[in-house]
Amino acid sequence: MTYQALLTSLLICCLANPALAGKLDDLETQATTKSKSSSKSSGSKSSSSSSSGGYYNNSSHHHDDDDNAIDGAFMLIFLTVKAVELTFEGLGVLAEHGGDSFSRYEQTSNESDGSEPSLFRKEGDPILPTVRLSSQWLNGSGDVSGQLNRIEAGFGAFGVSHTQNRLTEAGDKLTIKNTLAHYRMSFGNDFSWDLAFGKGKMDGNKNTDGNVFAMPMRLRLNQEVHLEYFPVWSDYGGRRMSEHQFSLNWQKEKVGLSTGFKTFSAGDTSVNGLFAGLYVNF
């Protein structure tokens, strides 16, 4: 074989084999592609159940089946009552601490006698912001880097947020956007916990929409330092994708610095790394 023929064969092989997928391709594929294992397991269960039938279902077992049905009905009623009871208790807790968020907006620390009420909010409070703008730069695992931008707005117990995670890799990009409606609860003046629901959008090799749930939490350590944990769970039709963001934040007046750890994961693929950035609160 001549050298020319050998080079031609190598070129054909290179063109015939696609490039290896990177982290971002794997993450998108895991989050948007439904796993085949669930369908296989359901099929095997149905076949095994059909093969196990036959003469075993005779009249000697009817009485036991009736007793089991009665026991199951009582258990279902009991579980339903307990679920309703816990639901009402949970709704009471949610309503109480959502009301505390409104109470914090109604009070300030500038009382005429110099005392502070039990629930109050200062302007620019990072635990319960009226408007918060943040931007961070991510140094991710492998060759992944990113920019994390978020805007929040709210008053009392209600708020909204829009987050844009722009991830880049050699020759590839993936943008994940979340738009959420928040129910903001205050547990005193130094701890907040939100329940947030909304829609997500993943722009990569294709555009995919999904449903999103989040539970951001903030804890004030002192007047200038607070911790934030912002977990997000998304459903894009494949394996559930999760985001976990931990940050330590330092704020002077209305401007702050943040540093922390961020991870994206779906299936057996994850992208994580350290980030740092700026934010402003009003």
The CATH number of the domain holding residue 207 is 2.40.160.40
Distance CA(243)–CA(28), nearest Å, equals: 13
Q: What would the pLDDT profile of 193-221 be if each residue is shown by its tens digit?
A: 999 999 999 999 999 999 999 999 999 99
12 is a domain residue: no
26 is a domain residue: no
85 is a domain residue: no
Q: Give yes or no for a contact between 235 and 211, defined as CB atoms under 8 angstroms apart.
A: yes
Q: What would the pLDDT profile of 8-36 be if each residue is shown by its tens digit?
A: 554 444 444 444 458 999 999 999 998 76
Q: What is the DSSP code (8-state) at residue 18?
A: P
Confidence of residue 64 (pLDDT cuts 50, 70, 90): low
200 is a domain residue: yes
- Taking 80 as the threshold, does the pLDDT of residue 171 lie above it? yes
Q: Phi, psi (5° rounding) for residue 59?
A: -70, -20
154 is a domain residue: yes
265 is a domain residue: yes
Residue positions counted in the chain: 282
- Taking 60 as the threshold, does the pLDDT of residue 161 lie above it? yes
pTM of the model: 0.77
Instruction: Answer with the residue of higher pLDDT: 116 or 221.
Output: 221
274 is a domain residue: yes
Please tell me the total count of domains within the chain.
1
Q: Give yes or no for a contact between 262 and 245, defined as CB atoms under 8 angstroms apart.
A: yes
Bridge partners of 210?
200
Structural domain including 209 reads 131-281
Letter for the amino acid at 251? Q
Distance CA(107)–CA(48), nearest Å, equals: 65
